[in-house]
Amino acid sequence: MLQYKFERLDSNKNELGNFLLDRKPEKCPICNSIQEPSFVSAYKLNDNRIEAIFKCNKSTCKHLFISILKLNINYSVYNCTLSKSYPTNPVRIEFDEDISTISPLFVNIYNQARNAEGIGLNHVAGMGYRKSLEFLIKDYLIKHKDEDEETIKEAFLGKCIKQYLSDNIKQVAERATWLGNDETHYHRVWEDKDIKDLKKLIDLTVYWISSEIQTDRYITEMDSRK
């Protein structure tokens, strides 16, 4: 157990107290590096919570962050358990080069949705994932399949998927839009599915699109030398 001092913000008394902490945060939530941050100070806010300030020790970061500590008072000893740290800065998900070249906006919107999900904004995240899927499909059709840009831009996503995509991509992308629409509309149709299923279907769509781009590349490269 680690022992530190806290300052009280939950009463008029300006006293200090000691508390025991089970462990320090194992990584900085801002740069996401695994390391041992330094303890700076801590404040007791109410009966069940202390907020502790830590400093990241990575030379390129050095930011301060706050960790929430849950408090159990045991025979007047303040025992704390590390809960969560913030602000969070989730690691950006990188997609393979084919995907990020064809649709940089898909990558951006997907990561924004993921950030929203990371801070508990589930409703906004669901709509974001649905939007990212639309950019992925339409950019793929315009940039890789050479479909007419104006036609694709104006068409509903459902029509683009049904009309222009090969079977594997169509099957997963169509189901992703069904769940995506549930995240966007008033009435939920797929009660037993959630944002995790939507993400899984988007991942599968990315997988099939990426496979198709790589297959096309090998065919073009090798057939031209036959």
Where does this chain bind Zn ion (CB under 5 A)? 28, 30-31, 56, 58, 61
Least Å distance, CB 36 to Zn ion, is 12
Least Å distance, CB 222 to Zn ion, is 47
Least Å distance, CB 31 to Zn ion, is 3
Pairing state between β 49-55 and 77-86: unpaired
- Nearer to Zn ion among residue 31 and residue 66 (C-beta): 31
CA angle 213/218/222 to nearest 5° reads: 150
Q: For the chain, give percent helix, strand, coil, nearest 5.
A: 45, 25, 30
- Nearer to Zn ion among residue 37 and residue 128 (C-beta): 37
- Nearer to Zn ion among residue 88 and residue 214 (C-beta): 88
Least Å distance, CB 56 to Zn ion, is 3
Q: Name the DSSP letter for residue 21.
A: E
Instruction: Identify the H or E element spanning 202.
Output: helix 195-223
**What are 2's strand-pairing partners?**
21
- DSSP 3-state of 146: coil
Selection from 129, 83, 127, 74 nearest residue 106 by Cα: 129
Least Å distance, CB 35 to Zn ion, is 8
- Nearer to Zn ion among residue 58 and residue 144 (C-beta): 58
Pairing state between β 64-74 and 38-46: unpaired
- Nearer to Zn ion among residue 24 and residue 144 (C-beta): 24
